[in-house]
Amino acid sequence: MSSVWGKNIKISIFGESHGIAIGVVIDGIPPGIQLDIEYINKEMKRRAPGRNKISTSRKEGDNFEILSGYFNGRTTGTPIASIIYNTNQKSKDYEIIKNIVRPGHADYTGYIKYSGFNDYRGGGHFSGRITAPLVFAGAIAKQILNKRNIVIGSHIKSIGNIEEDSFNMINLDKSLLINLTNKEFPVIEDENEKRMKEYILKLKEEKDSIGGIIETAVVNLPVGIGSPFFDSVESRLSHLIFSIPAVKGIEFGAGFSITKLKGSMANDEMYVEEGKVKTYSNNNGGVLGGITNGMPLIFRTAIKPTPSIGTVQRTVDISIMKNTSIEIKGRHDPCIVPRAVPVVEAAAAIGLLDLMMENKLI
C-alpha cells in the first residue's frame, strides 16, 4: 500500500487536507521509551502554518492526540496511533475550480488515478498538510536517536538564487544543528534570513512563489549502518524524502558537483585519530557502498516553488476537456521551504531509526 512505509518500524499515514482529521499509525516502536511530549509539540510547531508573513494564513495548531501505544508516559510496544484534527478549512475555495486542474498540482494525475473520486479540496491526500503526521512520527524517531547522541539538523541553503555556505562536512558540531532547530528561519548566517525573507515577500506581492534547497546533516551515526544494494542509506532515505510533496531532488555529500572532480580529489583519503578511522574530506557525505562510515551524513533536498500562485495560468477543464485559465485564490505559502525543514528531518530520522533497528542497534 502506498501510504505504508517501513521494514522494522512501519508508518501508515491517513487523511486529507480538508477532511475531518489527518494522522499516523506507527508500528514497531519498542516498549518503555519515555516520550517528551513538549519536544513533539515543538517539532509540530516548526511545521505548522500561519506563524508569520511568509507562511499561508491558514492557522492550524497541529495539536495532536495520541490514541494508543502510549501509557503512563512511556511507549507500550503496541502501535502508536495519533490524530490531528483539521480546524481551519475553507473548502468553498475549491468548489468553483473542482474541474479546473491546477498546474503543478496532482489534480489531473489524481483525477485519473482515482477515476474522479479523489478529494480535490486543498489537494486532498496529495497535500503538504499530510506531512504533519510525518513530523509527529519523526519527532518520536528523533528522540530515540538523540538518546544515542545522534543529532539531526538542517539549514536553508538557498532560496532561489540567494545562497549561503554549506555545512563544514568534516568538523560539524552537534550544537550548531541543535541551535538551527530552535530557529524559526534556520540559516547559519543571520544576515541571510533578511535577504531571503525580503525576496519571498516580494514574490508574494507579485502573486508568485519560489523554491529552494535544504541542507541536512546527521552527526554521531555509528559505522556500518545500511546494506547494499537496495537498502543502502541513500536509497532508504531517498525513498522517504521523495515522498514529501514538492521534493524534486536529493544529493549526498558533494552530490552532482563530484562529477567535476578527478578521482584523486573526489576520494576521501583516510587516517586514524584516537582509535577511529576518519577522512580528510567528505565528498561521499558519510556513506560508502551504501553504508555509513562514521563521518557526518550530509544531504541536500531540492524543494520546488509552491504551485498555488495568484498569477493567471493556462490549464484545462477536465469535465469538458476544454482549454481554460485559472487564477488561484485562497491561502498559500509563497515559499514552503522553511516549513519543509522539519519534514525533511523527520523523514531522515524515521529512515535512520529503521536502519538502526535492522542492525540491532536499537
- For 23-61, the DSSP string reads EEEEE-PPTTPBP-HHHHHHHHHHH-SSSSTTS-S----
Q: What is the CA radius of gyration of the chain?
A: 21
Helices (H) and strands (E) in the chain, counts: 9, 18
Pull the grid cell for residue 114.
482515482
Cell numbers given for 266: 573526489
Q: Which three cell numbers stand for residue 261?
A: 572532480
Residues 6+ apart with CB under 8 A from 40: 64, 136, 139, 140, 143
Tell me whether residue 148 is annotated as binding. Answer: no
Is 289 annotated in some ligand binding site?
yes
Burial class (CB in 10 A: 0-12, 13-18, 19+), 345: buried
> Annotation-wise, does 42 bind a ligand?
no
Angle between helices 37-47 and 337-358 (to 10 degrees): 140
Annotated binding-site residue? 305: yes
Q: Is there a binding annotation on residue 103?
A: no
Q: Do the annotations mark residue 18 as ligand-binding?
A: no
Backbone angles phi, psi at 317, to 5 degrees: -95, 110
47 labelled as ligand-binding? yes
284 Rama sector, left if φ>0, alpha if ψ -120 to 50, beta otherwise:
alpha
Task: Say if residue 264 carries a ligand binding annotation.
Answer: no
Element spanning 13, H or E:
strand 10-15
Q: How far apart are CA 203 and CA 282, in angstroms?
A: 36
Cell matching residue 326: 485559472
Q: In 3D, which of 243, 246, 247 has the Cα closest to residue 306?
A: 246
308 annotated as belonging to a binding site for a ligand: yes
Centroid of chain to Cα 274 = 36
* Whole-Å CA distances, 84 to 134, 150, 340: 11, 28, 18
Q: Do residues 334 and 306 touch, judged by C-beta distance below 8 A?
A: yes
| Residue 98 · residue 120 · CB < 8 Å | yes
Q: Is 92 known as a binding-site position?
A: no
- What residue numbers does the annotated binding site for NADP(+) cover? 47, 53
- What residue numbers does the annotated binding site cover? 47, 53, 125-127, 289, 304-308, 331
- What residue numbers does the annotated binding site for FMN cover? 125-127, 289, 304-308, 331
